[in-house]
């Protein structure tokens, strides 16, 4: 399947750049543009604008009109783009309204890169199924129930299926949340005390996050014996 182009709609410049950096790290996606308002997003999405957008990464709080109104206008204009909401808005009614306007993913801030990448990967599987990439080529493509089920199930995500054996998404989320909440670097022992998990478990999750470049690792000097390793959440983490 071809690379999918993402329009980021976010009025806070630093957050928009952070979103763009995350998109750039996910295979199969590239940034088509950044819009700081609903009006600018509609201009970039207009036929002939040249942005060639496949999916909109949409914040709900915009300076001119809210994200839900932008989603409504996108649908009213029959623009063939999908929408992924990336927002701190947690009200159930907003989620329901987003779904009614065809929002295919709803990502709550703050989030880790692992969650972000998983949601985009799920969306890509969904888009691949609907594009017909998994079907035989013909003059008129039709689908079976299994094809429809496969497309919809793609949106449900991997639920941690891409994690190394023995790691759970729940514990990973707890570790990420802890690292994001502290200002200083932490050791495996400190993570053990903070979360009530074993030192071996703490080290496994910290090393995994280091391997995915979400955590930096360096020796901590000034303690007796061999220097202890300490881990720090990277500055590129989205808040």
Q: What's the pLDDT tens digit per position in 9-54? A: 999 999 999 999 999 988 899 999 999 999 999 999 999 898 899 9
**Is residue 129 classed as helix, strand or coil in its secondary structure?**
helix
Of 167, 231, 159, which Cα lies nearest the Cα of 201? 167
Q: What is the pLDDT of residue 148?
A: 60
The stretch 150-159 carries a mean pLDDT of 52
The residue written with tokens 């969306």 in the block is 123
| Average pLDDT in the chain | 83
Of 14, 4, 16, 176, which Cα lies nearest the Cα of 86? 16
Query: Per the confidence metrics, is the pTM higher than 0.75?
Result: no
Q: Which domains does the chain have, with CATH numbers?
A: 4-154 (3.40.50.2300), 169-233 (1.10.10.10)
Q: What tokens does 26 get?
A: 């996910």
């Amino acid at each position: 399947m071809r690379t999918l182009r993402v329009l980021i709609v976010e009025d806070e410049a630093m957050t928009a750049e952070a979103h763009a950096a995350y998109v750039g790290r996910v295979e199969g996606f590239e940034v088509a543009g950044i819009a700081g308002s609903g009006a600018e997003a509609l201009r970039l999405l207009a036929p002939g604008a040249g942005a060639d957008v496949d999916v909109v990464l949409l914040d709900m709080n915009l300076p001119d009109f809210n994200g839900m109104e932008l989603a409504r206008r996108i649908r009213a204009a029959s623009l063939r783009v999908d929408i992924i909401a990336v927002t701190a808005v947690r009200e159930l009614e907003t989620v329901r309204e987003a779904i009614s306007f065809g929002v295919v993913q709803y990502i709550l801030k703050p989030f880790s890169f692992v969650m972000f990448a998983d949601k985009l990967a799920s969306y890509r599987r969904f888009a691949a199924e609907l594009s017909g990439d998994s079907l035989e080529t013909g003059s008129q493509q039709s689908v079976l129930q299994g094809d429809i089920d496969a497309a919809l199930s793609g949106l449900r995500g991997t639920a941690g299926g891409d994690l190394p054996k023995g790691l759970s998404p729940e514990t990973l989320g707890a570790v990420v949340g802890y690292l994001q909440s502290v200002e200083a670097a932490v050791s495996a022992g400190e993570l053990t005390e903070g979360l009530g998990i074993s030192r071996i478990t703490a080290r496994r999750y910290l090393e995994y996050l280091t391997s995915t470049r979400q955590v930096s690792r360096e020796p901590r000097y000034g303690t007796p014996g061999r220097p202890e390793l300490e881990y720090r959440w990277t500055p590129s983490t989205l808040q």
